[in-house]
Amino acid sequence: MSVQSLRSQPQGAASAPAPVVVHGSLAEAEADWRAIEATGILTPYQRYDWIRALLESGLEREGRIAIVVVHDDARPVALLPLIVERRSGFSIARFLGSDISNSDWLAFVPDTDISPEWLGWVLDEVRELVGTLDLVCLFNQPRQWAGRPNPVLAIAADPGPNNLYTATIGPTPVPYIEHRLTHKRRGNIKRGERRLEEMLGKVELRRVTTSDELDRVHAAFLAQRGERFDQMGVGNLFAEASFVRFFKHLATEGFTEEHPALCFHALYAGEDIVATTCGAFAGHHYSQYINSTASGPAAKYSLMSILVARLMDELTTSGIETFDMGIGDFDYKQDWTAPEPLFDTLIPLTPAGHLAALGLKASQGAKRAIKQNPKLWGLAQSIRKTLHNLRRR
C-alpha cells in the first residue's frame, strides 16, 4: 500500500519537494521507478529489473519495503528504494540489495536541485509516513556517477571499507587495450592468446543468448568460482539456490536486450570455457559484477586479461562509455581501471538513530582499517582460510 505526504512545505523551504510517496511494494512503485530510470542518473544496482529479480529470488533479508519517490508536481524526480529492518532494537533503513551490490545511489533526474535541506525535508516526510525510523543508511556510494556529483555526500561522507575500480573506455577510435596498456603488456596478452589458441583451439568471447548456453556457462562459472573461493577460504555463495535463481532468471530476460540488467559472457578456447564474466548495465555504463577463470594449463595465459580486452571492444562498439570492475582490491584490476574511494552516509532521524549510527560508523571504520592495511588484511585472510578449512573437516 502506498502512502503519500500531503503536508505543506515549511516556510522558507522554497525548494522543498511535494509530495513524497512511500510505496509498500515493488509493483506499486513500478511506474514511477521506470519513469525515473528512463532519464535519470543511477547505477546498475538501482535498476527496477535488478531489484525485482533480487526480491523474487529470495536474496533480500526480511524487512518492510519502503520505496520512496519524490515528485515535482506529477513528475517523479527522485527515488530511494529502502528496506526497513529491526536491528539490535533500532529501526534502520538501507537500500534494497545493498548487501550484494557494488554501490548505493540516490536515483534522480538530472534537473533536480538536491540540497541537504531538500533531502532533510524528504526524510522528515518519510519518517512521518513510515512510522518509527531511527536511521537511514547509504553504503558504498561513489563520489560521482555519469558525470554528476553525489548530492548525498554533502550531508555526510564517511570513507567506506571498499574502493570501486572504474575507467572511462569510450568513445575511442582505437581498441581500449591500445591506449590503456603498455606495449609490453599488450604484447604479453596477445602472445598468451596465441599460445592458448595453439593449445585448445580458436579463442573467442561469446555473449550468452540462449538457455542451453547459459546452463553450460553458468555451470562452468560455478565450478571455476568455487575453486577460487576455496583457495580464498570462503564458501561459494553463488552456488546457493537464491543466487542461482537470480542469475539465471535475470540473464534469460536480457537475451534480446542490447544493455540488459544482467548478462553473461564466456571466453572460449576451442570448446572449453576458460573464463566467464557476469555484468550489469545502466545507461552508458557496464559493471562487471563477478568473473571466473579456469585453473590448470590454460591459467598461465592471462585469461582475465584476454577476456577483458575483448569485452572492452564489444562494449565500446555498443555505446558503453564507462566501466567498473566492482569492489574489492585485486592487483589485476589496476591494469584496466583505477581505484575510486566509496563513502557511507548515515542519517540519524531520532536520538536512538544517533546511537545506532555511532555503532555502525565504528564497525565500518574497523573494516576499512583492516582492508586498506596490507598486513592486517593478509592476517584476516589467513585466519579466514584456516577457519574455512576447519569447518570443511
Domain at 287, CATH number: 3.40.630.30
C-alpha cell at 216: 553450460
Beta-bridge partners for 327: 164
- DSSP single-letter state for residue 68: E
- Residue range(s) defining the domain that contains residue 57: 3-161+340-392
Cα–Cα distance, 216 to 214 (Å, whole number): 5
Cα–Cα distance, 322 to 125 (Å, whole number): 35
Tell me: do 241 and 315 sit in the same domain.
yes
Closest by CA to 98, choosing from 304, 383, 283, 360, is 360
pLDDT of amino acid 8:
46
pLDDT of amino acid 391:
66
Cα–Cα distance, 43 to 63 (Å, whole number): 23
pLDDT of amino acid 88:
87
Cα–Cα distance, 106 to 78 (Å, whole number): 7
- Name the CA radius of gyration of the chain, rounded: 22
Tell me: do 364 and 276 sit in the same domain.
no
The reply to whether the predicted model has a pTM over 0.75 is yes
pLDDT of amino acid 322:
96
Residue 105, domain member (yes or no): yes
- 358-363-369 Cα angle (round to 5): 120
Closest by CA to 66, choosing from 49, 48, 84, 54, is 84
Tell me: do 227 and 296 sit in the same domain.
yes
Tell me: do 154 and 174 sit in the same domain.
no
pLDDT of amino acid 12:
42
Tell me: do 306 and 381 sit in the same domain.
no
Q: How many domains does the chain have?
A: 2
Tell me: do 88 and 200 sit in the same domain.
no
Which residues in the chain land under pLDDT 70? 1-18, 377, 380, 385-393
pLDDT of amino acid 232:
85
Tell me: do 104 and 205 sit in the same domain.
no
Tell me: do 196 and 306 sit in the same domain.
yes
Residue 325, domain member (yes or no): no
Q: Would you tell me the crossing angle of helices 241-253 and 48-56 to the nearest 10 degrees?
A: 140
